[in-house]
Amino acid sequence: MTFSMRRFSAIFRKEVQDFKTNSQTLIMMAMPVFFAILFSRADNFREVGAGTLTAMALVMVGGFVQAMLIAEEKEKNTLRVLMLSPASSIEVLIGKSSLTGLITVAICFINLLILGKLEGNFALLLLIFVLGMLIFNLIGTCIGLLAQNVPQTSTIGLPILMTFLLGDLIGMFVKNEVVTKIIDYLPTRHIGLAVSSVIKGEGFSAIASNLLNITIWLVAVLVITLFIYRKKQMD
Side chain identity at 220, as an amino acid letter? Answer: A
According to the model, what pLDDT value does residue 235 have? 62
Determine the angle formed by the axes of helices 66-76 and 23-40, rounding to 10 degrees.
Answer: 170
CA–CA separation, 140 vs 153, rounded Å? 9
- What lies within 8 Å, CB to CB, of 89 at 6+ separation is 226, 229, 230, 233
Rg (CA), the chain: 18
Residue 174 and residue 151: Cα distance in Å, rounded? Answer: 30
How many helices and strands in the chain, by DSSP H and E? 12, 0
What is the reported pLDDT for 187? 94
Range of the domain at 128: 5-234
The Cα 102–Cα 119 span in angstroms is: 20
* d(C-alpha 42, C-alpha 26), whole Å: 26
Running DSSP on this structure, what letter comes out for residue 4?
-
70 touches 144 (CB < 8 A): yes
Model pTM? 0.89
CA angle 105, 75, 90 (to 5 degrees): 45
In this prediction, residue 216 carries a pLDDT of: 97
Of 87, 96, 76, 78, residue with least CA distance to 140: 96
Question: How many residues are listed for the chain in this entry?
Answer: 235
Q: What is the pLDDT along the chain (235 residues), one digit of tens a residue?
A: 566 677 777 777 877 777 777 777 888 888 999 999 988 887 777 777 888 899 999 999 999 988 988 888 877 777 777 777 777 777 777 887 888 899 999 999 999 999 988 888 999 999 999 999 999 999 999 999 898 888 888 889 889 999 898 877 776 677 778 878 888 899 999 999 999 999 999 999 999 999 999 999 999 999 999 899 888 877 6
Whether the CB-CB separation of 123 and 117 falls below 8 Å is answered with no
- DSSP assignment of 24-38 equals HHHHHHHHHHHHHHH
What is the distance between the alpha carbons of residues 192 and 167, in angstroms, rounded to a whole number?
11
Domain count, the chain: 1
Q: What is the pLDDT of residue 45?
A: 73
